Chain A
Amino acid sequence: MKTLGRIVSFLVYFFLYAPLLVMIVFSFNAGKSTSVFSGFSLRWYGELFSGGGMLIECLRNSLLLAVLSALIATLIGTVAAIGIYRLKKGFVSGAILTVNNIPLMNPDIVTGVSMMLLFVFAAGLFGALNATNFYTLLIAHVTFNIPYVILNVLPKLRQSDPTLYEAALDLGCTPQKAFFKVTMPQITSGILAGLLMAFTLSFDDFVISYYTSGPDFVTLPVYIYSLVKKTVKPNIYALYSIILVAILALLVVYNAILSRSDTKKEGN
C-alpha cells in the first residue's frame, strides 16, 4: 500500500516536472533549437542580461501590470469584502456574491471575449480608433482579480471575532479606529494572500490579456504567444528558468517563515 502510494506520487511529480526539466536543460542549449541539444552554453542567459529586446520590455510590462492591477484589485476587493460582511445575509449580499462568482466560473476565453466586446462597443460609441489599449487591459485584470481578493478576505472577516471590535468600541475607539486597530490586524493575512494571488494571476494571464490588450502594451504571455507561431528560441526558456528559481526561492523562504512561527506556537 505504502510503496504503491510512493510510486503514484513519484509518477505524478515526474509528469508535472518533465516539461520544466526540459525547459531548464534547453535553456543552456548552445543552438537555437528547443528540441535538439547541440552543446552547453550560457548564451541565452547572456543575451537576456545584456538587456534590451522585446522579451525584457514585455517582462517589464507584465510586472507593471501585475503590480498595478493587484494593488487596485486589493483595494476595491477589500472594501467590497468589508461591505459584504457588514450586509445582512439576504438578497443583496447573495446577488453580489453570485456576480462575484461569474469571473471565477466563466472560462477565461468567455471573460476575455465578453470584455473585448464591451470595449469594442464603447469604442464604437465614442469613436475611438483602437478598442483596446493599456487601460482596457488594466481594467480587465482588475476585474478578474477582485473576486480572488474577496475570496481571501471575506473568510478572514467571517472568522474574525466580532467581540474584539465591540471591545475596542467599549474601550473608546470610534468605529473607524476600531476597524483599523482591531479588525485590520485580523484580516491582514487574507489581504496579503489576496494581493499575492492577484499578482501571480495577473502576471501569468494570457487568454484574457490576449483579448483586451492593444498594440501599445504587450505583456509577456501575449508576446510569447505571438512568437510561438513562428519559432521559440531558448531565450524564453532561460527567462522562465530564472523566474522558476526566483519563485522557488520565494516559496522556500515563505515556507521557512511559516514553519518557524508554527514551531513557536507548538512550543508552548
Chain B
Amino acid sequence: MNIQANPDLSIAALSIDSPEGRIVSDISLALGRGRPVTLLGESGSGKSLVAQAIMGNLPPGLHATGRVVFKGTDLLTETPAQRRRRWGRSICLLPQEPWLALDPTMRVLPQVAEIHRFVKEKDAARSNALAKENLAGVSLAHAGALYPFQMSGGMGQRAAIAMAHAADSELLIADEPTKGLDTVLRDSVTARLKREVEAGRLLLTITHDVAVARALGGMIGVMLDGRMVEHAPAEKLLEAPEHAYTKALLAAEPAKWEPQASAASGEVVLAGRGLAKRYDRRSLFSDLDISVAAGEIVSIFGPSGCGKTTLGSILLGLSPPDAGVVERRAGMSPLRFQKLYQDPPAAFAPHQTIRKGLTDLVRLHAKEWTAVERLLDRLRLPETLLDRLPSQVSGGELQRFALLRALLLDPAFLFADEATSRLDPVSQKEVITFLQEIVRETGPAVLFVTHDRDIAENISARAINLDNKGPLETAH
C-alpha cells in the first residue's frame, strides 16, 4: 500500500450555512488511496452534512462554501446536473440503514444487476453474471432471489455493499454503515469496507462507533457541534486523544467501562418459568427460566431477532407466552412494572410537549410536581427542555425523560429494551450510569436487553445469552 503525497479528495475550509446560521464550519481533511478517513461524532454534530456536501445532495436551504477538490476539480463549483452525473460513477454513497434504501418490490439480484446494466452500460446477460459475482463476494450468493423484506438487517447491509462494489466508483462514502447492527454483523461490515480500501478505493466513513473507526484505521476526525475538534491518524488519536470530547468519547466505549455489577439486594420481583415462544414457525426460545430480584440488573444479550424484546413483553404481560408462567411478587400495582424503549422518540406522543405529558402523569397519580423537579435535578435535565416536543430534544435526553417518567411511579421492575442502542456512546454511558445509580439508590429490579456483550458483562452480575437458547452465567 503506497501512500500518495497528493490526495485524491481534499476538503478545505468547508462550511455549511442554513438560513438560521452556520451549522458546519471550517472542515478540512484529505483522503488518499489506502488512507481512509473516518468522521466520528454524535447525532447532530454535522458529520452527515459533510458527506452530503461532498455528494452534492444537501437539503434545500443549506449552502456549502469552501473547496472540495476531487481529482483536481472543485466539486462545489460544478452544476447540480454535473454532480448528479458523478453519483454511482465516480462517487457512491452507502446509505444509512440500507435495508430501507433497497427497493422493496425488487429481488436483490436484479437490483445489483441494474448497476451494471444502466450505469456501466453492459448487456443483460453480462450484468447478471457480474451481479452474481458481486453477491458471492459478500457471501450472499444464495440470496439473489430474495426480496429486501425477506432479509435481515445485516444481509441488507451486505447487499448494499455489493451494490457499492458493483458501482466501482473511486470514492465511497459510508454513512453510519453499522447503525442498528449487532457486534458480529458490525465487524463483518467493517471488514468488507476495509477490503474496499485495500482494493484501492477512497473511503470516507461516518459513524458514532469508535470500534468501527479503530478497525478502519487511516485518519480520524472527531466532530462536535459542526466543528472538527480533533483530526489525527487513527493510532495516535485513539492512543493519546487531546481534546476533552475525544477523551470522553473513547472512555464511553463499552469495552473500556469499569465493571460495576450490582448484586441483588432484595427478594425476587419477577420470575418466568419454562417460557417458550415461537414466531413464524421458528422457536425463539424454549424452556427458559429467568428471575430478577430487587436491586439487581440482569442483562439479556444476543443478536438482532433472537427474541429479546419478545421475552420482555412476555414478562411485562404485554404478550402471552406459548408455554410457561410469569410470576410477579404478590401485592404489587401493575404500574410499578415499567419499560424503557429502544427508540426514545417513538415512546413519546409526537404532538405533546414533555411538560404536558409529565403534568398529566403527575395529576393522574396524584403526585407532587416537586417529585418531577427533584428527578430533573437528579438526571441533570434542564427545565427548559420541558416545553419542547419530543422531536426537539436529543435521543439521550429523551431517554432520560423516559427514565424520569418511569421513576415517578416508583417502579419495582424496569425492562430496558435496547434502551441505549440508538444513542451515541457518550449519551449511552450517561443513561446507563444513571440507571445504575438509580438501582443502587431505590432498588428496582432491572432487566437490560442489549446486543452488546461488553455492556451486558460490565453492568450486570448475571447475563443471559439468548443466542445459546439458555442462560449463560458470567461471574464477576
Question: Are the chains A and B members of one assembly?
Answer: no
Chain B residues with a Cβ under 8 A of chain A: none
